[in-house]
Amino acid sequence: MAQQTKSKKQSSKKPAKKNSDVRVVFLGGLGEIGRNCAAIDLEGKIMLIDVGLMFPEDDMAGIDLVLPDFTWLKENADRVIGMVATHGHEDHIGALSFLLEHIPLQIIGSPLTIGLARNRIEERGMLKQATFIEVSDNDRIQVGPFDMEFFPVTHSVPHGFATAFHTPQGVILHSGDFKLDMTPVDGRLTDLAGIGHMAKDDGVRLFLCDSTNATNQGFSESETSIGQSIHDLFRSKEGQRIIVACFASHIHRVQQVADAAIANGRIVATLGRSMNKNVHLARQMGLLKIPDTHLRKIEDIEDIDDANLCIISTGSQGEPMSALARMATGDNRWLTLHENDCVILSSHPIPGNESSVTRVIDGLLRKGAEVIDSSTHRVHATGHAKAEELKVMHSIVQPEWFIPVHGEYRHMTEHAHLATQMGMSADRVLICQDGQSVVLSDDGLRRGDDVPAEYIFVQGKLDDMDPTVITERRVLGTDGFVSAIISLSIVGPNVEMLGEPEIASRGWVHGDEGDQIRKEAMHIVRTAVENALKDGKRTRQELERIVRRALGRFVNQRTRLRPMIVPVILGAHEGAEKSKKKR
Ligand SMILES: [Zn+2]
Ligand SMILES: [Zn+2]
């Protein structure tokens, strides 16, 4: 089979001298959608592929963002020389500014990707730590020991790349996020011919490929077919004010919405910080064409009739602070919805965002607006290759080894299955997870050492929150907390309780029944402390432990709940354990 021939070809080329090994380390994005980050470790230097963030899942209460674990990168900071940004999505560049706090980087990408990344980095004041290397389609550049070639791919943000690393161990090809759109809005096709040439001439030793849509059969729809559908929709909504929400980085979608608006005699206004920024950037770069005559600032639309207006807004994922969410709650300072509005969600919820999107849609409907989304209308096309497109890519790349990346575990498993279906032998396909690594050597591909790959939580100004915080919030969110406050008086060898213990609680029990239960709890605590004092227990730590155990047992038996138990002992001596506990 093809794979066999390829490996033979490879081995016949192999020089007598041993080539240096190449290690690939997976830091994020394998097992979740988001925080994509991998590293190529070659001749003592490290090149990163993407440094993305993830939006929190439903059970991560209060968390703003989730980052890849930078522990291993920080330990090897002097070896990290740069980062390839495959494209400008947040799950690929969004965590860069956090890494730049620790490690200065050369950031390599297309001009648009660099523009989007630069905006993000600037927002967090990290520009001085970054240098930028802009590359064009099919460029091949050398940075340190890394010989890299950039192939155009189509995706839901323009100017994405698949990246080939020409290494002493042959080519490692990273697909980036891609689909095979044969009629993309800008005519820039996924360079199957170029990839095919390379695969034929050099062979691809290791292929890392986007798995997001591996479980979806068939081919994805072309972006331009969505444009036609949006066009038709605009025509049918004559007289109504139209508000379209989509990803701010989806420049081609914005273009198609703007085209439909202008063709129907409407003026376009953008709404939302990232939409304003990206539209400005893309117009400056000539990637987005909206004539000045048809673009207005949101603050200047008052004199325009509903029938002549189209607003393009952020918030298609139901993000609570976004322009669309604020419209749904009536808090948007620029726009108040009314019954003549038609809101189009030109998007599909990312896994985990479904309930927020539903909430926003409900809010919009309550305000009297008509709402149209991808469940009933063709207003969105995915940016990721579906199963048949992945097969086309595999048939062209014909890798010697394959590792599915970018997906939940089920997506990667299905992608692996798809590769073996196409003739790859199962022992040439590896499913890896965050924190694992592989080593490519003259003898083939083997597992390497693991590295830390915890979820790193960001909230407010804290950018490395202890995961215990999330665990505590889960308990607080489901069962509340109960606190017992005990005051002691210690005079020489005599120790006694001052007054009764106090029981305070939140989110546990309330009302008359609550008062009764708290009274019972108070007795339990008093007895436990009295007995402990009789037994000669004196330190705060000992007494806390005893109270926590006694109160916990009572609370659980009496209410069948497991709230957080917080004992507070005032006046007791600190025990010897203090120094140990305080790290
Ligand atoms: Zn992605
Ligand atoms: Zn993407």
Q: Structure pTM?
A: 0.88
Find the catalytic residue in 87, 384, 394, 415: 384
Least confident of 172-181, 237-246, 300-309, 488-497: 488-497
Burial state string for 132-162 with b = 16 or more CB within 10 A and e = fewer than 16: beebeeeeeeeeebbbbbbbbbbbbbbbbbb
- Give CA separation, 502 vs 54, 541, 574, in Å: 42, 18, 21
CATH code of the domain occupying 2-12+20-218+382-463: 3.60.15.10
Please tell me the distance between residue 157's alpha carbon and the centre of ligand 2 in angstroms. Answer: 7
- Residue 476: alpha-carbon gap to chain centroid: 25
| Location of each CATH 3.40.50.10710 domain in the chain | 223-372
Residue 137: the pLDDT is 98
Single-letter amino acid, residue 527: T
- Between the CA of 104 and the centroid of ligand 2 the distance, in Å, is 24
For the chain, give the percent of residues with pLDDT over 70.
Answer: 96
Between the CA of 337 and the centroid of ligand 1 the distance, in Å, is: 33
The structure tokens listed for 151 are 């192939």
| Distance in angstroms (rounded) separating the CA atoms of residues 422 and 137 | 29
CA 244 to CA 341: how far, in whole Å?
11
Please calculate the CA angle 290-152-396 and round it to the nearest 5 degrees: 140
CATH hierarchy code of domain 480-574? 3.10.20.580
Q: Which ligand is nearest to the CA of 89?
A: 2
Which amino acid would we find at residue 579?
A: S
Q: What burial class does residue 497 get, using C-beta atoms within 10 Å of its C-beta: 0-12 exposed, 13-18 middle, 19+ buried?
A: middle
For residue 248, what is the DSSP state?
T
Q: pLDDT-derived band of residue 384, with 50, 70 and 90 as boundaries?
A: very high
- 155 Cα to the center of ligand 1, angstroms: 10
Beta bridge partners, 96, equal: none
CB atoms within 10 A of CB 304: 15
Residue 524 contacts residue 551 (beta carbons within 8 Å): yes
Per-residue pLDDT tens digits for 99-134: 999 999 999 999 999 999 999 999 999 999 999 999
Contact status, residue 207 vs residue 240, Cβ threshold 8 Å: no
E-only strand ranges, 255-357: 267-271, 295-296, 309-313, 341-345
Among the listed residues 210, 259, 434, 479, the single catalytic one is 210
Give the pLDDT confidence of 507-537 residue by residue, as tens digits: 888 889 989 999 999 999 999 999 988 888 8
At residue 2, the pLDDT reads 39
Q: Which two tokens stand for residue 511?
A: 């009302």
Longest dimension (CA), the chain: 90
Per-residue model confidence (pLDDT) at position 583? 36
Classify residue 560 as exposed, middle or buried by CB count within 10 Å of its CB (0-12, 13-18, 19+): exposed
DSSP-H helix ranges across 14-157: 71-75, 90-93, 96-100, 111-123
- In angstroms, rounded to a whole number, what is the distance separating the alpha carbons of residues 47 and 168? 15
* pLDDT score of 576: 60
Q: How far is the CA of 445 from the centre of ligand 1 (A)?
A: 25
201 included as an active-site residue: no
Ligand 1 center from residue 90 Cα (angstroms): 8
Distance from Cα 330 to the centre of ligand 1, integer Å: 32
Q: What is the CATH number of domain 223-372?
A: 3.40.50.10710
Q: Give the Å distance between the CA of 28 and the centre of ligand 1.
A: 11
Q: Please name which ligand lies nearest the alpha carbon of 29.
A: 1
Position 489 pLDDT exceeds 60: yes
Task: Look up 139 and say whether it is catalytic.
Answer: no
Could you say which ligand is closest to the alpha carbon of residue 157?
2
Q: Where in the chain is the domain with CATH 3.60.15.10?
A: 2-12+20-218+382-463
Tokens encoding 6: 């390829």
Percent of the chain residues topping a pLDDT of 90: 80
Containing 236, the helix (H) or strand (E) segment is helix 223-236
Q: Which numbered ligand comes closest to the C-alpha of 210?
A: 1
Ligand nearest to the CA of 35: 1
User: How far, in Å, is the centroid of ligand 2 from the Cα of 173?
Assistant: 17
Whether the CB-CB separation of 364 and 327 falls below 8 Å is answered with yes
- Compute how many other C-beta atoms are within 10 angstroms of the C-beta atom of residue 557: 8
Q: Please give the Cα distance from 305 to 110 (Å, whole number).
A: 40
CA dihedral sign of residues 113, 116, 122, 126: negative
| Interval between CA 87 and ligand 2 midpoint (Å) | 7
Mean pLDDT over each residue of the chain, to the nearest integer: 92
Judged against a pLDDT cut of 50, whether residue 5 lies above it is answered with no
Q: Which ligand is nearest to the CA of 156?
A: 2
Å from CA of 110 to ligand 1 middle: 16
pLDDT confidence of residue 10: 47
Both tokens of residue 278? Answer: 């990206």
CA atoms within 13 A of residue 465's CA, in its CB half-sphere: 21
Q: Are 195 and 396 in contact (CB under 8 A)?
A: yes
Q: Is 220 in contact with 350 (CB distance < 8 Å)?
A: no
- The answer on pLDDT for 203 being more than 70 is yes
Ion ligand 1: residues, Cβ under 5 Å: 91, 177
d(CA 270, CA 298): 6
Lowest mean pLDDT among 52-56, 195-199, 251-255: 52-56
Band of residue 580 on the pLDDT scale cut at 50, 70, 90: very low
Closest CA to 422 of 397, 386, 385: 397
Res. 458: pLDDT tops 60: yes
